[in-house]
Chains A and B, each alone.
Chain A
C-alpha cells in the first residue's frame, strides 16, 4: 500500500493544472455557451503530450502511467468537463483499443499520430436500438472478399464531428450472437460511404462534439479489422473497462472544480453578518462533499494502478465510475445550493458543472450497468 503520488505524478498534476488554468478555464464558459469544440486547445494539448499520456514513447505516447492519465483528465475536467471528455474518449476509447488489440501494422499505422494528438480518435458502439444492450447491434459488416462493407448507424459518438479515426463495432455473424457475432473495425474519416450525421444538442458537455455516424455501403479495407473476426464484443468491453477510469476521472474533476469554487465563494459571501464559511451547517455540507470526493479519488487511482499493473480491474473501474459519477452529481447540486440564486445563473461556473455532471452517470455505461458489472463479479462463483 502506498497512498502517495509519485514525484512524476505530482509534476503531471502541476503541469496540467497550469495548462488548464491558463488555457482551458478562460474559455470554458464561452465554448459551453457557443457549443463550440475547442480545436485550438486540442492542438495545444497535443503539443504537450496530453493526448497520449499512458502510451509508451516508442509508439508516440508520452511514456506515462494510468494514474497520470487519470490526473490529466481530472485536472482538465476540473475547469472544463468538455475538454476532459475530448481527452478521455480519444485516449481510452480509440488509441487504447488500437494499441491493445491492433496488430503490428495497425499500431504502426495509427497509434503514433493518435497518441501525439496529430489525429483525433472516437469510438462507435452505441446505436439507436443498442445502448446498454450492446449486443443488439444492427450495423452489419459483410465480407466482400477484398474488403468489408459496413451498413448502419451509430449515435451519441463523442468527438464524432472532429475525429479522424474511429473504432467501430459491427455485426459480422448474427447467428453467433453478441459474443462471436460482433467484430471491431478501424474506420477513417473520408472512407467511401462513411459520413457524419446529426450533431446532438445536449444538456451539458456542450463543447464536446456528439454526433451520429452513418455507414452506407462503407468500404473498409480488410486489414482494418481490429482483432479477429468475432472479437468485437471483447474489444468493446475491455475498452469500456478502461474508459470508465477516464469518465470517473472526468466526474472527479467536475466535483473537485465545483468544490473549489464553492470554497472561494463561501469565504467571500456574507449573510447575517457572517461569512458562509463560518456557518457550521454549511461547513458540514462541505465536509461531506470533500469526504466523498476523496473516496472517489482513491477508488479511481486504485483502478488506474491495477490497470497499470495489468491486474484484472473491471469491477474496480466500475466501482470508481459509479461512485465518482454519483459524487459529481451530489457535489455539483450542493455547490449550486451553496451559491444560492447566483449558482443558478451562468455568471458562476457551478451551473455549467451541474449540467456537465449528469452525463457521467450515463455514458460509458450507466450507473445501473456499473452495478451489473460489480454484482456479476460478486456472484460469479
Chain B
C-alpha cells in the first residue's frame, strides 16, 4: 500500500501591493499575478524528496481557491506531485481560516488514507499560520509547526523534526500520521521539469465543491460561517530606508554617524 502524503498549498498574489475589497475586507485576487505560496513550495519539496527516496510514495496536493488555482496545482504536478485536488465552489468563497480548515480537513478525510501531511507555515497574503494547525486539530492528529529539519526512520512511522524557535530550536519525535508545517529553511524547492509540464496538462484535476465535501454551507464553510470579522484592513505606510554605515573601526563608524546626524541637524 502506498505511503500517502498530502500537501496543503495555496495560490497567493505575487505582489506586495495587495488590493483589498473595501466592503468585504477580503483580498481581491482577480487580475493579480498568482504564484505557489513560498512556504508551501517547501512543503511540497519535502514530500517530493521522500518520493525520490521511496518508490511507493504518492503525493497529493490539495488547495482551495478560485478556478484559476488549478494553474498552481499544474505547477505542483510539473514539479513531481502525483495528484492534485481543487476545492472550488462559490459556497466556499470568503472562508476564513476556520472555515478553510473545515473544507480542507473534509477533503483529506474524503480522499481516504494518509500517512503524512505537509503544509507551508503560512501564506504570504494572510500571514495567519492557522490553517495547517487547524486542519491537524480537526483531523485529530499531532502537529509540529516551523519545521526546519525532517528525518523519517525506515519504518516510516518514527519521525524526528527540528522546530525553529525565535531563540533556538526544539528537537521533536513524532509519529505518522501527523501534520508538519514547513519554513523556507527546510529545503530548496525544485523547479518544474519540462516533461513534468507536458505530463501535468494530461492529468485530470478534480474540482470538489461543498456538496462533494459534505460540509454544511451555512455553518462550516463560506463567508457567513466564518467567525473572523476583519476589523480593519489598511496598507501600512512604508518606513524610510535606513542608512548603512561602513568602516574599519568603531571610531571611524562613530565619526561617520556623527557627521550624518549633524548634516541632518539632529545634533
Instruction: Give chain A's interface residues, CB within 8 Å of chain B.
Output: 7-8, 11-12, 14-15, 18-19, 47-50, 53, 57, 61-64, 68, 72
Shortest Cβ-Cβ A-B pairs, 5 listed: A49-B194, A62-B194, A62-B195, A15-B192, A63-B198
Q: How far is the CA of A174 from the CA of B236 in the complex (A)?
A: 79
Closest residue of chain B to A47 (Cβ to Cβ) is: B193
Closest residue of chain B to A6 (Cβ to Cβ) is: B201
The A interface is mostly helix, strand or loop, or mixed, namely helix
Closest residue of chain B to A57 (Cβ to Cβ) is: B195
| Given A11-B74, A14-B192, 8 additional A-B pairs, CB 8 A | A11-B192, A15-B191, A18-B191, A19-B191, A62-B193, A62-B198, A63-B198, A68-B194
Query: Which residues of B105-162 have CB atoms within 8 Å of chain A's CB atoms?
Result: none
* 9 pairs of residues in contact across A and B, judged by CB atoms under 8 Å: A12-B194, A15-B192, A48-B190, A48-B192, A49-B195, A49-B196, A62-B194, A62-B195, A72-B194
Contact of B197 among A11, A18, A47 (CB under 8 A): A11
> Are A48 and B201 within 8 A (Cβ)?
no
B200 / chain A contacts, CB cutoff of 8 Å: 11
Closest residue of chain A to B79 (Cβ to Cβ) is: A15
> Are A8 and B198 within 8 A (Cβ)?
yes
B201 / chain A contacts, CB cutoff of 8 Å: 7-8, 11
Q: How far is the CA of A103 from the CA of B191 in the complex (A)?
A: 34
Instruction: Give chain B's interface residues, CB within 8 Å of chain A.
Output: 74-75, 78, 190-201
B195 / chain A contacts, CB cutoff of 8 Å: 49, 57, 61-64
B75 / chain A contacts, CB cutoff of 8 Å: 11
Given contacts A11-B75, A11-B78, A15-B78, contact A49 B193 (CB under 8 A): yes
Which of B195, B197, B199: most chain A CB closer than 10 A?
A: B197
Q: How far is the CA of A41 from the CA of B197 in the complex (A)?
A: 20
Chain A nearest CB from B76 CB (Å) reads: 12
Q: How far is the CA of A49 from the CA of B192 in the complex (A)?
A: 10
Closest residue of chain A to B188 (Cβ to Cβ) is: A22
> Are B197 and A12 within 8 A (Cβ)?
yes
A49 / chain B contacts, CB cutoff of 8 Å: 193-196
Chain B nearest CB from A69 CB (Å) reads: 9
Closest residue of chain A to B192 (Cβ to Cβ) is: A15
A12 / chain B contacts, CB cutoff of 8 Å: 194, 197
B190 / chain A contacts, CB cutoff of 8 Å: 48
Closest residue of chain B to A23 (Cβ to Cβ) is: B191
Chain A nearest CB from B35 CB (Å) reads: 10
